[in-house]
Chains A and B, each alone.
Chain A
Amino acid sequence: MTNFFVLLLGEIKRLQRYNILSASAVVALLWIGVLYLTELPDITFIFPMLIYVDATSMAILMVGVTIFFEKQEGSLHTLLVTPISKLDYLLNKSIITVASSVITLTILYLYVVIFKEIDMSFLGLLGAVILVALFHSLVGFLLTYNSRDFTALLINMMKYMFIFMIPVLLEYMQIIQQDIVEAILYIAPTKAAMILLYAPAGETELWEIVYALGYLGIGSIILFIFVLKRFEQFAVSESGV
């Protein structure tokens, strides 16, 4: 077994032991509750929004919380003096995060297919979720690097939510309707995320899809390189999370 898989299995076991797995199960149940309470039989309109909230915020939270734990209990230090490359470590965290978002998507999609109506292909949603969760797991690293402690991490997450996540959500709920604001929101990675998640409904223009794919794809590559470079500095600093 290569060290990559040892790390992966260890990570899964810890998600379970540190109750992060049950926390994400609770969140998934919460989403099902929301879907259950929705009066509309066809939930094609609301479904991507739920997935949007889950794949962005849960991805950031999962990376942040697990690294915070590892740094606090010192196990991160130990990992650094074992034959694991930082690339293995970072890939592991991102893969686990993406997998968790994919599982949530699958559960919610099954629920909707069985009890409600939806007019979106699963594969399209799957692709979108993978890219969105990957990008946001890297955002999670970035926010963690720049947080002195857990409180600072939570505050940084809040900032990301208020600046990027919520405005886009309000736009899609048609609470924000000014053209100028909608135009400005193209700067936000969360807008690209929302475009991709709605694309499987089949009403998105091609240029928008290309833009969103480009933004999150190239963005992920740039973020990944940056996160990789800064990892050691973060890991050995005593003051960081």
Chain B
Amino acid sequence: MFQVRDVTYRYPRNRKDTIKGISFDIRQGEIFGLLGPSGVGKSTTQKIMVKLLTDYQGEIYYRNKELKNFDKQYYQEIGVGFEVPVHFSKLTADENIHFFKKLYRNQANTDAMMQRLGIYEAKKKKVDEFSKGMKIRLNFVRAVLNNPAVLFLDEPTIGLDPANARTLKTMIKEFRSYGGTVLLSTHLMSDVDELCDRVAFMADGRIAEIDTPQNLKMKYGERKVEVEYDTGNEEATSKVSFDLDTINRNEDFFKLVRNKKIITMHSKETTLDDIFIKITGVEKHD
């Protein structure tokens, strides 16, 4: 669906490139995750792909045609969810949605979506009276009100309570099941784990790694067992870990289990969180 080839971008007043040569493909019908620490260029990449920033170097093909050759009709086919509030604050949610809807050929059943996301009752309220989470849910409805073929979502679940985040994720998955393609920028591993078919890790304006979440876990993963035991002297405990794959041959492990009082024992698989830190070299802040 998209072929991104060696794209670089520099903001007009900056001295350094923000995007330093990225290449990736997005296939039709997949959820493609763009992952990375804050300030790495995820939103910038998304803005380039929705033609908000047009002064990039390199090439981007959508349906085998360079993005620069598309006019405003491109927006008939895509939906864009921003990470910031983007509505007319003194109009009601309903008025906002209807205004934007009229600009498109395809029109989705927005009432049903508002109902699922729990903002239908508030649709006659002005958007500036909405809570943060309500605005985010409204952002999503606005992004899909034209039944887009491609959906760009920037941090769609940030600021949502767990129940609403769940509903939203279900709706994103449903979008995919109807053949929709999604580019999802996020720094939440749980979203990636749950939603993404493939994920690109960004570090400092470049793509460090692209693969499926499963392959990444295999590649960077370590499987181990962590055992906490009573050392016998006073109240001190000690921790050791053993490789899970060779544990059936590990005499040290058997000795420990036989002779010591075990306090806890956990098997640990590398999470995407650990991989995130390993690949990007950045501790994540939530």
Chain A contacts to B: CB under 8 angstroms: 1, 3, 6-7, 10, 13-14, 17-18, 70, 73-75, 77-78, 80-85, 232-233, 236-237
Contact = CB atoms under 8 A, between A and B. Distances in A.
A74 B82 contact: yes
Which of A1, A13, A80 counts the most B-chain CB atoms under 10 A from its CB?
A80
Contact of B72 (A74, A77, A78, A84): A84
Contact of A78 (B90, B95, B100): B100
Contact of A237 (B12, B82, B88, B91): B12
Contact of A82 (B75, B88, B90): B75
A73 B72 contact: no
A78 B86 contact: yes
B76 A236 contact: no
B9 to A, nearest CB: 12
Contacts of A81: 50-52, 75, 78, 80
B53 to A, nearest CB: 6
Nearest to B99: A10
B37 to A, nearest CB: 19
B102 interface: yes
A77 B52 CA distance: 9
Given A6-B103, A78-B82, A14 B90 contact: yes
Contacts of B12: 233, 237
A232 B12 CA distance: 12
Contacts of A84: 72, 103
Contacts of B85: 73-74
B100 A236 contact: no
Interface string B95-135: 10001101110000000000000000000000010000000
B38 interface: no
Interface in B193-236: none
A13 B100 contact: no
Contacts of B54: 232
B86 A82 contact: no
24 contacts: A3-B103, A13-B95, A14-B88, A14-B91, A17-B88, A17-B90, A73-B85, A73-B87, A73-B88, A74-B82, A74-B84, A77-B52, A77-B86, A78-B142, A81-B52, A81-B80, A82-B103, A83-B73, A83-B76, A83-B103, A85-B72, A233-B12, A236-B47, A237-B12
A78 B50 contact: no
Interface of B: 12, 47, 50-54, 71-73, 75-76, 78, 80, 82, 84-91, 95, 99-100, 102-104, 128, 142
A35 B72 CA distance: 48
Contacts of B47: 236
Contact of A13 (B51, B53, B91): B91
A70 B96 CA distance: 13
B1 to A, nearest CB: 18
A14 B91 CA distance: 8
Contacts of B90: 14, 17-18
B72 A83 contact: yes
B102 A6 contact: yes
B226 to A, nearest CB: 45
B221 to A, nearest CB: 38
Contacts of A75: 86-89
Contacts of B84: 74, 77
A202 to B, nearest CB: 45
A232 B55 CA distance: 11
Contacts of A85: 71-72
Contacts of B50: 81
Nearest to B142: A78
Given A13-B95, A17-B88, 16 more contacts: A6-B102, A14-B88, A75-B86, A75-B88, A78-B80, A78-B86, A78-B87, A78-B100, A78-B142, A80-B52, A81-B52, A81-B78, A81-B80, A83-B72, A232-B54, A237-B12
B87 A83 contact: no
A1 B99 CA distance: 12
Contacts of B78: 81
A6 B88 CA distance: 15
Contacts of B87: 73-75, 78
A17 B96 CA distance: 12
